[in-house]
Amino acid sequence: MYSKFYAPLLGLLWLLSSCGNTATQEKNALVTERFSGETMGTTFSITYLDSTHQDLEQALVQLLIDINKSVSTYVKDSEISMFNQQDSLEVSNEGHFARNFEQAQQVYTQTEGWFNPTVMPLVNYWGFGYTEKKRVAQVDSSLVDSLVKLVQFEQIALQKKETTTLYSKPAKGVQLDFSAIAKGDAVDEIGRLLEQRGIDNYFVEIGGEIRTRGVTSSDFAWRTAISQPIKGAGKSTASAQLLLELKDKSLATSGNYENYHQDPVTKQKYAHTINPKTGYPERNSLLSASVLASDCAIADAFATAFMAMGLERAWAIVNNNTAIDGYFIYLDEQGELQEKMTKGFEQLQLNN
């Protein structure tokens, strides 16, 4: 299910600009700060309002480095890589690994296993993981069946101590992949760092996963777009399927239209969303799933799970969970593009 690529922090760019006209004297004292660069194999951007002239560059850089050192499967000596290479791992209860694991447990339970971080061996097999990126020339169904048996997230044993927890594998070969939750969690962690520094108005985005709090310098809610489910659509409003206003909300979107392998002979596409129950790339009518939640990690994980389970199951879950809202783009029986959304999305859309 999960191939949101991870890599060490690559580069950073710090940009400062003065805010525009504002409604109050307090707002006039605020400066709009912008911080952008590359991390987790993608880009990030941070915009926030600050009146204290703090220099947060070093703190933000170090936070992103620390997150990669903990949960990136592309960092060979990261905590998650060490777990994948060993039989067990003992880490701090206050660290990034422990937080990602705990949040993954929550969504695993609420999605009845459709969100499953132990799908890593299957992600690698299909060419979407940290191993060599290549399509499967000839599917080995017996091998796929054997890898499905390693999808045992609920069987990982936890031995909690005062300040640490020991995570032990149920079987050799079990591996973890937090790529479908850690990007959203990193967005949340950046937001929390800003809040700890007294910053109440911000927009944080990593690879399309977003967390907002407060308002812009013009006292408006932050705005963003959900792209049309076509390859190369990007984040341009010209290719937007839905425009939204976000205030004190997080948004994550998962789709199969950008990241896939295609057989050069049959032209069959193998999407990066792996069904943790069958072991095969999931093929259903759902093209894109977007989730609103308070925290981006939860939205991120649910969006991926929804892509794996398909529209019918996803719609049932989102309508029975008051903590999230869903927006789905899918193909109907005639092959026509359709959309379906909960009231939370209806209330925030700009182009209704």
- Token reading at 321: 């969970």
Tell me the per-residue pLDDT of 37-64, one tens digit each, with 9 for 90 and over.
999 989 999 999 999 889 999 999 999 9
For residues 28 and 207, the model is more confident at 207
Mean pLDDT (the chain) is: 87
What is the pLDDT averaged over residues 229-249?
A: 73
For residues 252 and 351, the model is more confident at 252
The CATH 1.10.3980.10 domain(s) of the chain lie at 79-168
Confidence category of residue 134, pLDDT binned at 50, 70, 90: low
- DSSP letter string, 200-266: --EEEEETTEEEEES--TTSPPEEEEEEPSSTT-TT-GGGEEEEEEESS-EEEEEESSSSEEE-TTT
What is the pLDDT averaged over residues 189-213?
A: 97
Residue-level pLDDT at 3: 41
Tell me the per-residue pLDDT of 276-322, one tens digit each, with 9 for 90 and over.
999 998 888 899 999 999 999 999 999 999 999 999 999 999 999 99
3-state helix, strand, coil split of the chain in percent (to 5) is 30, 30, 40
Residue-level pLDDT at 229: 81
Location of structure tokens 């220099």:
55
Confidence category of residue 257, pLDDT binned at 50, 70, 90: low
Q: What is the DSSP letter of 88?
A: E
Residue-level pLDDT at 216: 96
Tell me the per-residue pLDDT of 208-225, one tens digit each, with 9 for 90 and over.
999 999 999 999 999 999
What is the pLDDT averaged over residues 91-109?
A: 98
Residue-level pLDDT at 210: 98
The CATH 3.10.520.10 domain(s) of the chain lie at 11-67+181-348
Task: Examine the pLDDT at 266 and tell me if it is beyond 50.
Answer: no
Task: Examine the pLDDT at 13 and tell me if it is beyond 90.
Answer: no
pTM of the predicted protein model: 0.87
Cα 286 to the center of its chain, rounded Å: 18
Tell me the per-residue pLDDT of 102-124, one tens digit each, with 9 for 90 and over.
999 999 999 999 999 999 999 99
> Are residues 291 and 304 in contact, defined by beta-carbon separation less than 8 angstroms?
no
**CATH architecture of the domain with range 79-168:** Orthogonal Bundle (1.10)
Question: What are the CA-CA distances from residue 135 to residues 17, 120, 258, 265, 306 (Å)?
Answer: 45, 16, 15, 12, 24
Distance (Å, whole) CA 12 – CA 32: 18
CATH class of 11-67+181-348: alpha beta
